[in-house]
Structure 1
């Protein structure tokens, strides 16, 4: 793979908006895991449903979509997840092999207030998610992101959507490409 920063965060935290902003400010191409794996095609009954029936299959689709989308010498930010809701609604880490296949140069975990995220999801998707479930998922994403960063020997940036200085983050992410 080429130079990719992987940005994860729970549904509704604002990672896509943040990734588009980062991409524009430092000249990256923004990619979405949902678009690469064609989530709308997989979830034809309800694309706003966040439960994933076959996590290994979706991750295989993601890697194939990523290979097809990237160009030599490109610089990318890919937004996705470190954990997903499985078909039973349980928080499940994305397999490490997915991240090994992406081969990111850095990881970014976007975090926020679970109560605010729950209200945003209710407004955006017309879905109720309990704030405690979102808090659990966010904590599991942090644990999994730290493990991935350690195993890949790359840097993990944790960005709280309401508290962290975006200028400092952009400066540090930009340095990741040098």
Structure 2
């Protein structure tokens, strides 16, 4: 088991902000799955968030994680699902989560309108309400499956109760 807390959620839900706050207030390191993959591949991602090689990217992620100092607990900011090159919602392979072996799983959620607003402000890209809702619902559903199969605690944290759940989350780590 790696010393990591996996923090999932769809694009624009606030994972980076959440992880930065925990890092700043509790001294826990944060790594972004997409940044680790991009560094390994020497590539960047498009603003529409569509990913061409979801399955092969997981190999890059696992290689990068093997190079991360894991003596201390750290947060890994990532996803349970991604949008494929055609805009379809695709689950990250279950084997990736088995190999990552998180100690705790977190899924951040928020209102669809708030997520769309953040994405538009950040990426200047307008997203479809029903796609974002379906994307978030699938992220939650798959996180529950992974949590059960790996037998690790799952925290589903919305924007209203984030502060209240951080202490309980860190106690498990």
Q: TM-score, normalised by structure 1?
A: 0.91
Residues 41 and 52 (structure 1 numbering): CA distance in 2 closer, same or farther, change over 3 Å? same
Q: Residue deviations 1:64-89, cap 9 Å, x none?
A: 11111223x21100001010001110
Partner of 2:112: 114
Partner of 2:81: 83
Partner of 2:42: 41
User: Hey, what's the Cα distance between the residues in 2 that align with 1:139 and 1:93?
Assistant: 12
**5+ long unaligned stretches in structure 2:** none
Q: Answer whether contact 1:84 1:92 (CA < 8 A) is retained.
A: yes
Partner of 1:160: 158
User: Hey, what's the Cα distance between the residues in 1 that align with 2:156 and 2:36?
Assistant: 24
Q: Report how far residue 41 of structure 1 moved.
A: 3.2
Alignment of 1:21-170 (within 5 A): 21-38=21-38, 41-43=42-44, 47-71=46-70, 73-161=71-159, 163-166=160-163, 168-170=164-166
Q: Report how far residue 35 of structure 1 moved.
A: 1.1
**5+ long unaligned stretches in structure 1:** none
Q: Residue deviations 1:26-51, cap 9 Å, x none?
A: 221111011110178334xx632311
User: Hey, what's the Cα distance between the residues in 2 that align with 1:37 and 1:129?
Assistant: 24
Q: Report how far residue 165 of structure 1 moved.
A: 4.3
User: Hey, what's the Cα distance between the residues in 2 that align with 1:124 and 1:53?
Assistant: 21
Question: What number of residue pairs does the alignment pair up?
Answer: 172
User: Hey, what's the Cα distance between the residues in 1 that align with 2:69 and 2:47?
Assistant: 26
Q: Answer whether contact 1:110 1:159 (CA < 8 A) is retained.
A: yes
Q: Secondary structure of the equivalent of 1:64?
A: helix
Q: Secondary structure of the equivalent of 1:85?
A: strand
Does structure 1 residue 171 correspond to structure 2 residue 170? no
Instruction: Kindly report the root-mean-square deviation, in angstroms, between the aligned alpha carbons of the 2 structures.
Output: 1.5
Q: Report how far residue 92 of structure 1 moved.
A: 0.7
User: Hey, what's the Cα distance between the residues in 2 that align with 1:23 and 1:149?
Assistant: 23
Partner of 2:9: 9
